[in-house]
Amino acid sequence: MHHLIAPSLLAANFANLTPDLELVNNSQADWLHFDVMDGKFVPNISFGFPLLKACKSVCTKPIDVHLMIVEPEKYIEQFAEAGADIITVHYEACPHLHRTIQQIKDTGAKAGVALNPHTPVSLLENVLEDADLFCLMSVNPGFGGQKFIYNTIPKVRQLKQMLIEKNTKAHIEIDGGVGLQNAEALLKAGATVLVAGSAVFKSKDPVDTIRRMKAIGEDLYMV
């Protein structure tokens, strides 16, 4: 299967979102990535339900909601109702992760688990068959436009191996500092979803940047 591209709304123009949502609709992007921050789990506050609802009314692609919040279990149903197609919670924010994953699935959304850069992938061992997606943060969550943490690459390789051993088809998503410069290395390591905020929306031609990110590593899929 070809890899997926998920432009992150965090880098869009908040004073005029519709053109940015429409360019995502009219591009080869697969999902729209939607970052929710609560000022507690991360040192920043972004946006929530009303904006998700508004985006859902314009966006034709599945919306990939990344919850960088404490106690995400309190809000899962509301995010699903507001239009989330994929809901990702942080390993570090979930003392009852297995239950939270089931709670997400019960809403009909796909369930994701995200790891901060310092959290080892080995901790996912007992939920490998439960989640639909594993998101490896390649920056410390909270802000767009940060520098990619290179140590993510061996983590991707390790997680890929763990998923192969369990024979599961879960996605490996990479979030933070991703762009044309590191996409190929990530895909070779086993990534299947690339989130890109600044790399897409701060580029001259976002639709073309998405097309180029999608075309990277075409040869990886020839076999």
Report 19-78 residues binding Zn ion (CB under 5 A): 35, 66
**175 touches ligand DX5 by CB under 6 A:** yes
- Cβ-proximal residue to Zn ion, closest one: 66
Report 178-217 residues binding ligand DX5 (CB under 6 A): 178, 195-199
Q: For residues 209 and 169, give the distance between their C-alpha atoms in angstroms, rounded to a whole number.
A: 27
Binding partner at 197 among Zn ion, ligand DX5, none, C-beta below 5 to 8 Å by kind: ligand DX5
**132 touches Zn ion by CB under 5 A:** no
* Nearest alpha carbon to residue 28 among 181, 216, 156: 216
**Smallest separation (angstroms) from Zn ion to the CB of 8:** 6
**Smallest separation (angstroms) from ligand DX5 to the CB of 159:** 18
Burial profile 62-85: b = 16 or more Cβ within 10 angstroms, e = fewer:
bbbbbbbbbebbebbeebbebbbb
Q: For residues 157 and 144, give the distance between their C-alpha atoms in angstroms, rounded to a whole number.
A: 24
**7 touches ligand DX5 by CB under 6 A:** no
> With respect to ligand DX5, which residue has the nearer C-beta, 47 or 49?
47
**142 touches ligand DX5 by CB under 6 A:** yes
Q: Return the amino acid letter for 139.
A: V
**CA R_g for the chain:** 16
Residues annotated as catalytic (active site), given as ranges: 35, 175
Binding partner at 178 among Zn ion, ligand DX5, none, C-beta below 5 to 8 Å by kind: ligand DX5
Give the phi and the psi of residue 212 in degrees, each rounded to 5: -70, -40
**87 touches ligand DX5 by CB under 6 A:** no
Q: Return the amino acid letter for 155.
A: K
**Smallest separation (angstroms) from Zn ion to the CB of 219:** 28
Binding site for Zn ion (CB under 5 A): 35, 66, 175
Binding site for ligand DX5 (CB under 6 A): 8, 10-11, 33, 35, 66, 139, 141-146, 175-178, 195-199
